[in-house]
Amino acid sequence: MRFLCLCLTIPLLLTSMLYPYDNSVSAAQAITPAPPPQQKAAKPETKPPSDPIYEERKQLFLRLEGLYGVPWTYLAAIDQYERTMTRKKKKADSGEPKRITAITIPPASWSGYLNPEMDDVDEPSISFFGGMGMDGSGDGKADQQNDTDVVTSIARYLSEFGFTEDDIRIGIWTYYKRDRAVKTIEQFKRVFEKYQTLDVMNHSFIVPRRYNYSYRSTWGDPRGWGGRRIHEGTDIFADYGTPVLSTGYGVVEIMGWNRYGGWRVGVRDMDNVYHYYAHLASFRKGLKVGDIVEPGQVVGYVGSSGYGKPGTSGKFPPHLHYGMYRDVGHAEWAFDPYPHLKNWERQSIRSAQKKKKKK
């Protein structure tokens, strides 16, 4: 009866999936880069074997790439982006099926905005109301909780925009209506493309163990230079020239001078966290914006730059200021990196002990 009653209704065309957000950038990322002195880089750490869950997801993305022509790396990047944006949601009820992907299509977009059944599973009905939901698994239902159905729907949606990278980026922007989302997904895609695996979530401590360093929790401490503010990070004190290591896989977003942080590098990791390395003496030779970095790879060297015009140095003892900022959709919020540093330090120590026992 629903089709008879609405036979004169023009099906609603598919529009944007999410509310638009402004592209927000933290204060630590706003200064024009300038070239500092250069020093030699260190060898990155070797990556451990892949976890089976990553391979299972990858095979699903590869299968959909074969059907719709959308590179699996883009599907994986969208999945990873949504995983980082939905981590605070409540866990699914025990009665719901366990999923291996994190992509969630809003019910109105899945079923169609005029569809009276937001949980509609009938593909012809969904199509009539302009929804994007599809039965990719072939079980006769277009299920919003079925990974194959969801990824199929996303892949088909993107394929309608074309198959060049520009076409896919336009499709992603149309879906999210957010520049930051497009940029982050593109960065994730490049990392997956380089390593050909989804297992890129490992971390490393920020300073090599053979160097002397010290740190404590300094989150929230008052700071006075440039106006009253709080300390958004952890200070790691070390000698001039101590290598500063990338704590994870990611892409260099920012390099150059900041009047507070001096010579600094900004890296966005695969958890959609922006890592801020400040007060450097110099960057790793050859490092540039857009480069992909790995856990344990040198990004710069400890110094005492900052608190003034470009080149200012020596206003405080040499140390690394390390900050972490999470993308929450409408802004980026700083959070305390100290617990993460302690965890990565313990992991580094355990790893070194295991290697020593094997010798």
Higher pLDDT, 272 or 89: 272
- The burial of 171, by beta-carbon neighbours within 10 Å (0-12 exposed, 13-18 middle, 19 or more buried), is given as buried
The fraction of the chain above a pLDDT of 90, given in percent, is 71
Q: What is the pLDDT of residue 96?
A: 63
Q: Say whether pLDDT at 35 is over 70.
A: no
Q: What is the pLDDT of residue 302?
A: 98
Q: What is the pLDDT of residue 230?
A: 66
What CA–CA distance (Å, rounded) separates 272 from 286?
24
**Residues 324, 329, 331, 333: is their CA dihedral positive or negative?**
negative
In Å, what is the CA distance from 313 to each residue of 241, 263, 267? 14, 10, 23
222 strand-pairing partners: 230
Q: What is the pLDDT of residue 324?
A: 96
Q: Residue range 33-39: average pLDDT?
A: 40
Q: Are 121 and 112 in contact (CB under 8 A)?
A: no
Domain boundaries in the chain?
Answer: 27-48+202-358, 51-195
Q: Say whether pLDDT at 10 is over 50.
A: no
Q: What is the pLDDT of residue 221?
A: 72
Higher pLDDT, 58 or 20: 58
What CA–CA distance (Å, rounded) separates 277 from 279?
7
List pLDDT tens digits, range 245-277: 999 999 999 999 999 899 999 999 999 999 999
List pLDDT tens digits, range 288-322: 999 999 999 999 999 999 999 999 999 999 999 99
pLDDT bin (cut points 50, 70, 90) of residue 355 is: confident
Buried b or exposed e, range 231-260, using 16+ CB within 10 angstroms: ebbbbbbbeeebbbbbbbbbbbbbbbbbeb
Highest mean pLDDT pick, 3-7, 19-23, 97-101: 97-101
Crossing angle of the two packed helices 72-85 and 179-195, in degrees rounded to 10: 120
pLDDT bin (cut points 50, 70, 90) of residue 38 is: very low
pLDDT bin (cut points 50, 70, 90) of residue 90 is: very low
List pLDDT tens digits, range 100-158: 999 999 999 999 999 999 999 999 999 999 999 999 999 999 999 999 999 999 999 99
Higher pLDDT, 290 or 331: 290
Q: What is the pLDDT of residue 359?
A: 66
What CA–CA distance (Å, rounded) separates 105 from 247?
32
Q: What is the pLDDT of residue 331?
A: 79
Per-residue HEC secondary structure of the chain comes to CHHHHCCCCCCCCCCCCCCCCCCCCCHHHCCCCCCCCEECCCCCCCCCCCCHHHHHHHHHHHHHHHHHCCCHHHHHHHHHHHHHHCCCCCCCCCCCCCCCCCCCCCHHHHHCCCCCCCCCCCHHHHHHCCCCCCCCCCCCCCCCCCHHHHHHHHHHHHHCCCCCHHHHHHHHHHHHCCHHHHHHHHHHHHHHHHHCCCCCCCECCCCCCCCCEEECCCCCCEECCCCCEECCCEEEEECCCCEEECCECEEEEEEEEECCCEEEEEEEECCCEEEEEEEEEEEECCCCCCCEECCCCEEEEEECECCCCCCCECCCCCEEEEEEEEECCCCEEEECCHHHHHHHHHHHHHHHHHHHHHC
Q: What is the pLDDT of residue 218?
A: 86
Least reliable range by pLDDT among 39-48, 147-156, 228-237, 264-273 = 39-48
Q: Say whether pLDDT at 79 is over 60.
A: yes
Q: What is the pLDDT of residue 354?
A: 81
Give the CATH architecture of domain 27-48+202-358. Distorted Sandwich (2.70)
Q: Half-sphere exposure of residue 5, counting CA atoms within 13 Å on the CB side?
A: 6
Q: Nearest 5°: CA angle at 290, between 249 and 263?
A: 90
Least reliable range by pLDDT among 96-100, 210-214, 233-237, 342-346 = 96-100
Q: What is the pLDDT of residue 228?
A: 56
Q: Residue range 4-11: average pLDDT?
A: 37
φ, ψ dihedrals at 336, nearest 5°: -70, 120
Q: Which residues contact 173 (CB under 8 A, 6 or more apart)?
A: 179, 181, 182
Q: What is the pLDDT of residue 225?
A: 52
- Mean residue pLDDT of the chain comes to 85
